[in-house]
């Protein structure tokens, strides 16, 4: 799943969704040397799909990459750079186990794996971020559909079905508006289906082994 770059600035230094950043793998590879930096890459079928740059400090790692500004991957590229604290706990025979501290505001959970990716955070925070983003998307789709319904003089509420072409409106205009309306309704209904558990939680499908 993950892999290392050459240490030079390779890859695209950008992220997609559903990335796992496991501090144990990084540590095992001997990369947690303060003052060093390297590129961590994710590949699929031999192709680099995402990569980020990590700068290692004594008790933290700086993550540096670019991300699309919305989770559909259609927004503007946005530079991301923030610090993730490391924590070390004793583990038998004088060894130390290394952990991330989740960088999400108000969290700080000690975890082995952070999930990206617009931001990398613990599983719980990632769930929250994803749910609120989805909520916002659903609401926006519903609002857009309702705006069109008002313009067409249809009964408010996307569950009320489509109405008729208003008198005096060109058929072409009507067809365009109705197509746009249906698109937003479908997006909103798909979101509702997910909320109702009909389609399954996307994040549940990427349950990485612990």
Per-residue contact flags (x/-) with Zn ion for residues 119 to 158, judged by CB under 5 A:
--xx--x---------------------------------
Closer to Zn ion at the Cβ: 98 or 107? Answer: 107
For the CB of residue 103, give the shortest distance to Zn ion in the complex, in Å: 8
Closer to Zn ion at the Cβ: 101 or 144? Answer: 101
CA angle 82, 88, 94 (to 5 degrees): 155
Q: How many residues bind Zn ion (CB under 5 A)?
A: 7
For the CB of residue 102, give the shortest distance to Zn ion in the complex, in Å: 3
Collapsing DSSP to helix, strand or coil, 54 comes out as strand
Alpha-carbon span 54 to 25, nearest angstrom: 14
Three-class secondary structure assignment of 109-127: CEECEEEECCCCECHHHHH
Alpha-carbon span 74 to 79, nearest angstrom: 15
For the CB of residue 123, give the shortest distance to Zn ion in the complex, in Å: 8
Q: Residue 74: name the closest of 143, 17, 33, 144 by CA.
A: 17
Q: Residue 108: name the closest of 91, 131, 125 by CA.
A: 125
For the CB of residue 136, give the shortest distance to Zn ion in the complex, in Å: 20
Contacts of Zn ion in 58-117 (CB under 5 A): 102, 104, 107, 109
Closer to Zn ion at the Cβ: 80 or 188? Answer: 80
For the CB of residue 106, give the shortest distance to Zn ion in the complex, in Å: 8
Distance from the Cα of residue 135 to its chain's centroid: 14
Closer to Zn ion at the Cβ: 109 or 165? Answer: 109
Q: Are 20 and 2 in contact (CB under 8 A)?
A: yes
Per-residue contact flags (x/-) with Zn ion for residues 183 to 202, judged by CB under 5 A:
--------------------
Q: Under 8 Å CB-to-CB from 151, ≥6 apart: which residues?
A: 177
For the CB of residue 134, give the shortest distance to Zn ion in the complex, in Å: 18
Q: Where does this chain bind Zn ion (CB under 5 A)?
A: 102, 104, 107, 109, 121-122, 125
């Amino acid at each position: 799943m993950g892999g290392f770059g050459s240490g030079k600035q390779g890859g695209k230094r950008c992220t997609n969704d559903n990335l796992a950043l496991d501090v144990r793998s990084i540590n095992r590879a001997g990369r947690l040397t303060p003052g060093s930096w390297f590129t961590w890459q994710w590949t699929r079928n031999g192709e680099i799909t995402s990569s980020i740059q990590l700068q290692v400090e004594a008790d933290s790692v700086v993550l540096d990459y670019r991300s699309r500004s919305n989770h559909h991957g259609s927004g503007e590229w946005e530079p991301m750079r923030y610090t993730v604290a490391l924590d070390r706990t004793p583990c038998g025979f004088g060894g130390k186990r290394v952990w991330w501290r989740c960088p999400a505001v108000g969290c700080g959970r000690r975890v082995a794996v952070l999930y990206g990716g617009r931001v990398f955070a613990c599983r719980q925070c990632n769930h929250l971020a994803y749910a609120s983003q989805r909520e916002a998307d659903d609401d926006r789709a519903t609002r857009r559909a309702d705006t069109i319904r008002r313009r067409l003089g249809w009964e408010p509420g996307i569950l009320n079905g489509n109405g008729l072409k208003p008198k005096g409106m060109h058929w072409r205009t009507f067809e365009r508006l109705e197509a746009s309306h249906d698109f937003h309704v479908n997006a909103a209904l798909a979101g509702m289906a997910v909320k109702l558990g009909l389609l399954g939680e996307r994040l549940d499908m990427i349950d990485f082994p612990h």
